[in-house]
């Protein structure tokens, strides 16, 4: 028999029905019951996972097949695939069912490696799905049908061969069929019995006599009916017969239950073959049906119990779920659904435990990231599988608090319980919050609180009580009693006063009796008494017993009240003193109630009004003074209404007709009892008013005198400066004439004394302006470093004369340009630096400039430190006062007005800065000041290209003949082509005429104060005249006639000088202005590497003025002879300083901009001497000196090299000498010091120059 024939002709339908029935039973009952049912039918149950691997086999598998379940579990159930490969349509359909996850029934297949008795298996199964609809495998039933199939194969084989079976075939086949307990028979196409085994007559014992070959199936049914062999189950005979025959005739294969009248039950299965025959298999299932009935009854009872159990656990507030050994839900109560916010539709009985977790994954119950979810689920399931989990508390992500536990049950089951204690926790938190709130309230009370329970056990004591009697703290602890506190208190002298004298008497006499009495007293419902603690403080005690027996004791500190009582007694006597005192003060004092009736008046009021005290108390002003008192009423009511204090000066006419001035003051007062009073006083200020008038008159006279002083100073400024201009100008001209040494000395003294007098006048005028508030700052962008260095240059000559080291340090990285009044900053630094040099005889003077960046600008700190005589500590606080000197000897030794520091201090104040001093007598002083200045944009600088200005045309315009004469003489001495005009109009005519003749004026020196037209008006006219508008103008003014920088910029003033202008400063201004006018501007920095210079501009004045002058000189080609001096200096200002000093020495010189150029020029020009700056770009002075000395070592020459450094610090000289230099010269460059170096290394040429000067 082929596979197809077997599949088509043999279908054990009874096993299929049994599997379906067992699947139903398996849902309602335990596996043990199912196993009994299956074993009665010689079948077994099986399950697979989602990959169709066998995951479980029932124990009946071993008995039915002879194989161990372990050899199959974990393997795929694809043994039938051999049949698919061989073309079996039945097997292919079964594979299609599996792939489609459809149920299947009575599939017959042959397992691999099967033994003789285990060759054919009939199986049925249904797919499994979880709560989310995911396929989880198959579950079903199988049966070993090998014997049945083999017998049928033999019958089928003979039938197909159309041969008469041999005897041995029949014997073999019948032996196989007769060995089976089921009745098996075969009917041919005409439904006649062909073959049957021994079991059939035995099973059909009531009609065994008719079971013969050739009988039809219908006849068997008919005979059975006639003999009442069948149990038709209340159906009619015909109806029952027709139903059986119709089912047999119409179905390809069928199975049905036949009941015998003797109570037996037969499972009758039929399978129709392709040739028309029918195979019938009958199995006695009487015992099985009996067990099934018993199981049904048991199931009903189980369902009732389960229903009762379900209703019982549904009534619980605890969430309960019971899981089977595979972690699938068997029982879930209602509380579980409520606690986990799920429905039976979402999590049903039978679903896996993880379905509960998955359904709540995204609804806020869990706070687990997606990437950790599977690990979290696995850990929870693993914990449940391990067994019992003790109750523990956890908090869900949605805020609910749960108590969770796991209990191990039989058969690998687990009971999991959840109790939602969120509300309990909330109530506990609320109770704890209430307890804390009550404790906080008790702690915040201004009284001590003590609580004992009904059994006198300690409950609570607030901090105030614990702090009030620290010695009793050990007794006020949990577990201690009221008696403990009394015993400890008695031992430490507490509770001596109880409010009951009888008890208090026992305190020292009989402590035990006292203790018993106190314990009885504390049981009283209420008591109140005063008690004094050992620390001396008094307390009011309130003790009470509540209804439940709780003791509450409150102790209020009344020590202050006791003190106030004593103070009140003392103040009563003091009040008498105060009342007497008030009565004796020369001021009228009164008090009124809110109804404006007098409550109190002192003797002063009675004297002022002439009304006796007893006539005034209790009456109003109107009642006392009549209509004259009415004006006071409105004022009094306003004070009471607003609560504001009212002050006014009053003028009244006395009884004698004289005028009296009074100062009245009244205000509202609220007493401690809430009463409103008006308190007033009146003072006679007639004498004060008279003195005030006298002071006003005196002040008026002072103002007029101050105005007269200011006018006098202004006039004196002009009147003094004019003759001083003549004195200084003529003195300087006289110094240029042929004078013998004695005359020259006299002339120098005149110049120095005149300049000193000008300084004094300037100080007095500056201070006068500051004192009068007339000095206005004029901020503009300026270079701070240049300003400081300029001041240092001016003072350097005096420093060198005293052999002092003058050092300037500017903080590296500090901004170059700032916005401020540079003139006033120069003035401040000049005053401080001049004083430092003046009062220092040896050592050094250091100017240190530092800055700190702030949001509002840069806070600059400029300090001047000297090693001079210092200032005594008692004088430090007075140094910034006007006309202040440290001592009289200083005044005699050092000239000065005593206004310098006062002016400096006022200028710093005007700039919103600070100034200070630190000094140690005999060691030196440090004066410092701070100003905050805004940084200016770093403009691209331009420098003037030096040009020869000899013969430049200069027009002097001044109404003063002496000034015109001096200025003209100076112009001539400086080789300028000049002329002078006596007024503004005359000067304008000269300018116009010169322009008409094609000889325009190069510069105009213009006085500001002139009749007809002022200097400003002349300048404005020049700017508005075509052909003259670009003419440079230098303005000369007095100190009190200066214009603002803005005004000078508007007028295009090139330079502004204060008269009398020193010749050196005027010459510098002229040269600079004319050079700029002639177009000598070139972008900065200079591109010329070597500056070759010779003297070409004549100078006048003393050596000091020549040293201070720094005009730019013209470029002249170097001579053909040997070079005297090579200067290596990168700083342009210092190049100009060297140029001005060397230009008048007679030496030839060249200037180069860095060390590398110096090395090249020294080899080419062979100079007699080199002045080498130490700090330069490309190659510094030390490196250049080293290279020169290497070259000289080869040719045997040696050029003297003098190092020039700006640091002037200890060790600089040694560094220069170690590098190969011969000498050392510190900056700032002093003409005198430089000339001394030239004399030392070049001979006497510069000395001759100085003597000639």
Q: Averaging pLDDT over each range in 3-12, 14-23, 748-757, 956-965, which range is the top one? A: 956-965
Structure confidence at residue 1240 (pLDDT)? 87
Alpha-carbon span 424 to 432, nearest angstrom: 12
Q: Which residues pair with 141 in a beta bridge?
A: 45, 124
DSSP 1012: S
Q: Averaging pLDDT over each range in 276-290, 760-774, 885-899, which range is the top one? A: 276-290
Alpha-carbon span 866 to 845, nearest angstrom: 4
**Are the CB atoms for 298 and 25 separated by under 8 Å?**
no
Structure confidence at residue 899 (pLDDT)? 72
**Are the CB atoms for 293 and 32 separated by under 8 Å?**
no
Rounded average pLDDT over 517-536:
86
Portion of the chain with pLDDT greater than 90, in percent: 15
| Strand (E) or helix (H) holding 73 | none
Rounded average pLDDT over 145-153:
66
pLDDT band at 888 (very low <50, low <70, confident <90, very high): very low
User: Using one digit for the tens of pLDDT, what is the confidence trace for 540-565?
Assistant: 888 899 888 999 989 888 888 888 88
**Are the CB atoms for 154 and 241 separated by under 8 Å?**
no
Structure confidence at residue 1157 (pLDDT)? 93
- Which two three-digit tokens encode residue 443? 């702690």
User: Using one digit for the tens of pLDDT, what is the confidence trace for 614-642?
Assistant: 998 999 988 888 887 888 888 888 888 88
Tell me how far CA of residue 1230 lies from CA of 374, 599, 1237, in angstroms.
90, 88, 11
Structure confidence at residue 1248 (pLDDT)? 42
Alpha-carbon span 720 to 1038, nearest angstrom: 10
Rounded average pLDDT over 74-94:
71
CA 1144 to chain centre: 67
User: Using one digit for the tens of pLDDT, what is the confidence trace for 694-735?
Assistant: 888 888 888 788 767 766 765 666 567 657 766 776 777 677
> In this model, does residue 991 exceed pLDDT 80?
yes
Of 942, 958, 969, nearest to 1067 by C-alpha is: 969
Q: Can you tell me which residue has the tokens 């042959």?
A: 110
Residue 827 phi/psi, 5° resolution?
Answer: -65, -40
Residues 948, 954, 958: CA angle, nearest 5 degrees = 150
Of 1007, 955, 947, nearest to 977 by C-alpha is: 955
Helix (H, G, I), strand (E, B) or coil at 843: coil
- Which two three-digit tokens encode residue 260? 């015998």
Give 125's contacts (C-beta < 8 A, 6+ positions apart).
19, 46, 103, 104, 138, 139, 140, 141
Of 275, 253, 252, nearest to 159 by C-alpha is: 275
Peptide bond into 1060 cis (omega under 30): yes
pLDDT band at 2 (very low <50, low <70, confident <90, very high): very low
Residue 677 phi/psi, 5° resolution?
Answer: -130, 155
| Strand (E) or helix (H) holding 222 | helix 217-226
Q: Judge residue 401's burial from the number of C-beta atoms within 10 Å of its C-beta, 0-12 exposed, 13-18 middle, 19 or more buried.
A: middle
Handedness of CA 47, 53, 58, 62 (dihedral sign): positive
Structure confidence at residue 983 (pLDDT)? 93
Give DSSP secondary structure letters for 610-643: ---HHHHTT--HHHHHGGGGHHHHHHHHHHHHH-
DSSP 587: S
Give DSSP secondary structure letters for 317-374: SSEEEEE-TTSBEEEE-HHHHHHTT--TTTS-TTSBHHHHHHHTTTTTS----HHHHH
**Are the CB atoms for 202 and 181 separated by under 8 Å?**
no
- Which two three-digit tokens encode residue 1174? 């130490």
Could you give the domains of the chain?
Answer: 3-144 (3.30.450.20), 178-284 (3.30.450.20), 316-425 (3.30.450.20), 445-563 (3.30.450.20), 585-651+660-684 (3.30.450.20), 690-768 (1.10.287.130), 776-935 (3.30.565.10), 942-1082 (3.40.50.2300), 1087-1252 (3.40.50.2300)
User: Using one digit for the tens of pLDDT, what is the confidence trace for 755-764?
Assistant: 767 766 776 7
Handedness of CA 584, 588, 593, 596 (dihedral sign): positive
Alpha-carbon span 600 to 74, nearest angstrom: 115
- Which two three-digit tokens encode residue 984? 């503004």
> In this model, does residue 39 exceed pLDDT 50?
no
3-state SS record for 139-203? EEEEEECHHHHHHHHHHHHHHHHCCCCCHHHHHHHHHHHHCCCCEEEEECCCCEEEEECCHHHHH
Point out the least confidently predicted range of 210-219, 511-520, 947-956.
Answer: 947-956
Average pLDDT over all residues of the chain: 79
E strands, 739-856, where? 780-783, 805-810, 817-820, 844-854
Of 339, 451, 462, nearest to 403 by C-alpha is: 339
> In this model, does residue 795 exceed pLDDT 50?
yes
**Are the CB atoms for 823 and 791 separated by under 8 Å?**
no
3-state SS record for 250-268? HCCEEEEEEEECCCCEEEE
Helix (H, G, I), strand (E, B) or coil at 816: coil
Structure confidence at residue 153 (pLDDT)? 63
| Strand (E) or helix (H) holding 1104 | helix 1103-1108
Give DSSP secondary structure letters for 1146-1175: S--EEEESSHHHHHHHHHHH--SEEEEESS
Residue 1046 phi/psi, 5° resolution?
Answer: -60, -40
- Which two three-digit tokens encode residue 259? 């009941």
The residue among 157 and 378 whose pLDDT is bigger is 378
**Are the CB atoms for 609 and 634 separated by under 8 Å?**
no
- Which two three-digit tokens encode residue 468? 């009030």
Point out the least confidently predicted range of 170-174, 322-326, 343-347.
Answer: 170-174
Tell me how far CA of residue 981 lies from CA of 517, 991, 996, 1026, in angstroms.
124, 10, 18, 20
Q: Averaging pLDDT over each range in 14-18, 617-621, 963-967, which range is the top one? A: 617-621
Q: Which pairing describes strands 924-935 and 914-920: parallel, antiparallel, or unpaired? A: antiparallel
Q: Judge residue 691's burial from the number of C-beta atoms within 10 Å of its C-beta, 0-12 exposed, 13-18 middle, 19 or more buried.
A: exposed
Structure confidence at residue 717 (pLDDT)? 60
> In this model, does residue 1022 exceed pLDDT 80?
yes
Strand order in the sheet with 646-653: 598-601, 588-593, 676-684, 659-670, 646-653
Give DSSP secondary structure letters for 675-703: -EEEEEEEEE-HHHHHHHHHHHHHHHHHH
Give 406's contacts (C-beta < 8 A, 6+ positions apart).
383, 384, 387, 388, 389, 414, 415, 416
DSSP 74: T
**Are the CB atoms for 621 and 632 separated by under 8 Å?**
yes
3-state SS record for 968-1007? HHHHHHCCCEEEEECCHHHHHHHHHHHHHCCCCCCEEEEE
Per-residue burial over 1143-1174, b if 16 or more Cβ lie within 10 Å, else e, is: bbbebbbbbbbbbbbbbebbeebebbbbbbbb
Helix (H, G, I), strand (E, B) or coil at 845: strand
Structure confidence at residue 237 (pLDDT)? 87
Q: Judge residue 584's burial from the number of C-beta atoms within 10 Å of its C-beta, 0-12 exposed, 13-18 middle, 19 or more buried.
A: exposed
Structure confidence at residue 16 (pLDDT)? 36
> In this model, does residue 923 exceed pLDDT 80?
yes
Q: Judge residue 1125's burial from the number of C-beta atoms within 10 Å of its C-beta, 0-12 exposed, 13-18 middle, 19 or more buried.
A: buried
> In this model, does residue 891 exceed pLDDT 70?
no
Structure confidence at residue 1162 (pLDDT)? 92
**Are the CB atoms for 387 and 415 separated by under 8 Å?**
no
Structure confidence at residue 151 (pLDDT)? 59
């Amino acid at each position: 028999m082929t596979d197809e024939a077997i599949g088509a002709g043999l279908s054990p339908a009874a096993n299929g029905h049994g599997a379906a029935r067992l699947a139903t039973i398996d849902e309602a009952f335990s596996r043990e019951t199912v196993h009994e049912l299956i074993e009665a039918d010689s079948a077994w149950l099986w399950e697979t996972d989602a990959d169709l691997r066998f995951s479980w086999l029932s124990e009946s598998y071993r008995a039915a097949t002879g194989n161990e379940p372990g050899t199959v579990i974990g393997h795929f159930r694809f043994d039938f695939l051999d049949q698919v490969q061989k073309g079996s349509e039945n097997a292919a359909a079964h594979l299609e069912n599996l792939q489609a996850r459809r149920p299947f029934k009575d599939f017959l297949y042959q397992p691999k490696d099967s033994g003789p008795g285990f060759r054919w298996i009939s199986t049925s199964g249904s797919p499994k799905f979880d709560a989310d609809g995911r396929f989880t495998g198959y579950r079903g039933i199988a049966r070993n049908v090998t014997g049945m199939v083999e017998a049928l194969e033999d019958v089928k084989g003979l039938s197909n061969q159309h041969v008469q079976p041999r005897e041995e075939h029949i014997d073999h086949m019948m032996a196989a069929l007769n060995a089976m307990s089921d009745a098996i028979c075969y009917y041919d196409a005409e439904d006649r019995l062909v073959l049957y085994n021994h079991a059939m007559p035995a099973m059909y014992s009531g009609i065994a006599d008719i079971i013969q070959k050739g009988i039809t199936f219908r006849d068997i049914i008919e005979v059975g009916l006639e003999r009442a062999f069948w149990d038709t189950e209340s159906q009619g005979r015909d109806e029952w017969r027709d139903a059986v025959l119709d089912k047999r005739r119409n179905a390809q294969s069928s199975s049905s239950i036949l009941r015998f009248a003797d109570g037996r039950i037969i499972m009758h299965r039929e399978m129709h073959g392709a040739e028309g025959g029918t195979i019938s298999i009958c199995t006695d299932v009487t015992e099985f049906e009996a067990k099934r009935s018993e199981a049904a009854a048991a199931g009903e009872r189980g369902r009732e119990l389960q229903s009762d159990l379900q209703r019982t656990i549904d009534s619980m507030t605890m969430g309960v779920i019971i899981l089977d050994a595979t972690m699938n839900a068997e029982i879930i109560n209602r509380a579980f659904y409520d606690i986990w916010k799920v429905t039976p539709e979402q999590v049903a009985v039978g679903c896996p435990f993880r379905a509960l977790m998955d359904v709540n994954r995204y609804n806020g119950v869990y706070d687990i990231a997606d990437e950790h979810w599977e690990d979290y689920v696995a850990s929870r399931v693993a914990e449940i599988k391990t067994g019992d989990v003790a109750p523990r508390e956890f908090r869900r992500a949605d805020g609910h608090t749960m108590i969770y536990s796991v209990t191990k049950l039989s058969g690998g089951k687990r009971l999991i319980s959840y109790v939602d204690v969120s509300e309990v926790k909330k109530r506990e938190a609320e109770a704890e919050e209430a307890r804390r709130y009550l404790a906080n309230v008790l702690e915040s009370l201004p009284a001590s609180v003590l609580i004992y329970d009904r059994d006198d056990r300690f409950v609570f004591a607030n901090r105030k009580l614990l702090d009030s009697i620290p010695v009793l703290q050990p007794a006020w602890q949990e577990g201690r009693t009221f008696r403990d506190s009394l015993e400890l208190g008695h031992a430490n002298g507490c509770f001596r006063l109880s409010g009951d004298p009888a008890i208090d008497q026992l305190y020292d006499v009989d402590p035990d009796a006292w203790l018993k009495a106190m314990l009885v007293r504390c049981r009283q419902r209420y008591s109140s008494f005063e008690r004094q603690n050992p620390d001396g403080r008094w307390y009011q005690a309130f003790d009470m017993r509540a209804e439940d027996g709780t003791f509450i004791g409150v102790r209020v500190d009344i020590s202050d009240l006791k003190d106030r009582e004593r103070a009140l007694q003392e103040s009563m006597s003091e009040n008498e003193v105060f009342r007497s005192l008030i009565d004796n003060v020369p001021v009228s004092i009164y008090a009124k109630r809110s109804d404006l009736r007098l409550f109190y008046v002192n003797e002063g009021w009675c004297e002022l009004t002439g009304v006796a005290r007893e006539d005034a108390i209790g009456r109003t002003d109107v009642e006392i003074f009549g209509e004259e008192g009415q004006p006071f009423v409105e004022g009094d009511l306003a004070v009471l209404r607003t609560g504001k204090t009212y002050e006014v000066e009053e003028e009244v006419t006395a009884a004698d007709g004289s005028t009296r001035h009074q100062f009245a003051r009244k205000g509202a007062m609220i007493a401690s009892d809430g009463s409103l009073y008006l308190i007033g006083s009146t003072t006679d200020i007639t004498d004060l008013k008279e003195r005030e008038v006298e002071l006003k008159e005196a002040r008026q006279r002072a103002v007029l005198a101050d105005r007269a002083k200011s006018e006098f100073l202004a006039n004196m400024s002009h009147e003094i400066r004019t003759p001083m201009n003549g004195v200084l100008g003529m003195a300087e001209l006289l110094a240029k004439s042929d004078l013998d040494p004695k005359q020259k000395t006299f002339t120098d003294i005149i110049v120095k004394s005149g300049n000193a007098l000008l300084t004094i006048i300037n100080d007095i005028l500056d201070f006068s302006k500051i004192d009068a508030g007339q000095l206005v700052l004029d901020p503009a962008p300026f270079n701070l470093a240049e300003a400081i260095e300029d001041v240092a240059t001016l003072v350097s000559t005096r420093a060198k004369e005293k052999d002092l080291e003058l050092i300037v340090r500017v903080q590296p990285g500090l901004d170059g340009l700032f916005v401020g009044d540079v003139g006033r900053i120069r003035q401040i630094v000049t005053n401080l630096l001049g004083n430092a040099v003046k009062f220092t005889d040896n050592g050094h003077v250091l100017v240190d400039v530092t800055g700190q960046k702030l949001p509002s600008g840069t806070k600059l700190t400029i300090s001047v430190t000297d090693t001079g005589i210092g200032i005594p500590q008692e004088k430090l606080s007075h140094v910034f006062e006007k006309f202040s000197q440290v001592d009289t000897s200083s005044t005699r030794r050092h000239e000065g007005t005593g206004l310098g520091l006062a002016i400096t201090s006022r200028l710093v104040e005007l700039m919103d800065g600070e100034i200070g001093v630190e000094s140690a007598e005999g060691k030196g002083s440090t004066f410092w000041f701070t100003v905050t200045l805004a940084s200016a944009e770093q403009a691209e600088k331009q420098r003037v290209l030096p040009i020869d200005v000899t013969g430049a045309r200069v027009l002097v315009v001044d109404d003063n003949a002496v000034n015109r004469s001096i200025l003209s003489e100076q112009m001539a001495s400086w080789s300028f082509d000049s002329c002078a005009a006596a007024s503004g109009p005359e000067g304008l005519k000269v300018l116009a005429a010169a322009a008409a003749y094609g000889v325009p004026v190069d510069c105009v020196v213009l006085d500001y104060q002139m009749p007809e037209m002022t200097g400003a008006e002349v300048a404005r006219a020049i700017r508005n005249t075509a052909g003259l508008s670009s003419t440079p103008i230098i303005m000369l003014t007095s100190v009190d006639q200066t214009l603002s920088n803005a005004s000078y910029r508007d007028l295009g003033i090139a330079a502004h000088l204060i008269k009398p202008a020193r010749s050196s400063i005027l010459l510098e201004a002229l040269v600079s202005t004319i050079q700029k006018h002639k177009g000598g501007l070139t972008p900065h920095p200079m591109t010329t590497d070597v500056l070759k210079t010779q003297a070409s501009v004549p100078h006048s004045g003393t050596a000091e003025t020549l040293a201070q002058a720094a005009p730019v000189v013209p470029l002249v080609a170097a001579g053909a002879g040997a070079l005297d001096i090579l200067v290596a200096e990168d700083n342009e200002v210092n190049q100009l300083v060297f140029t001005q000093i060397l230009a008048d020495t007679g030496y030839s010189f060249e200037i180069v901009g860095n060390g590398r150029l110096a090395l090249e020029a020294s080899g080419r020009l062979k100079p007699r001497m080199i002045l080498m700056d130490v700090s330069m770009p490309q190659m510094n002075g030390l490196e250049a000196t080293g290279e020169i000395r290497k070259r000289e070592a080869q040719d045997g020459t040696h050029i003297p090299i003098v190092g020039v450094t700006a640091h002037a610090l200890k060790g600089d000289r040694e560094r220069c000498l170690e590098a190969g230099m011969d000498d050392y010269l510190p900056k700032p460059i002093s003409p005198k010091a430089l000339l001394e170096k030239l004399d030392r290394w070049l001979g006497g040429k510069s000395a001759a120059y100085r003597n000639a000067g």
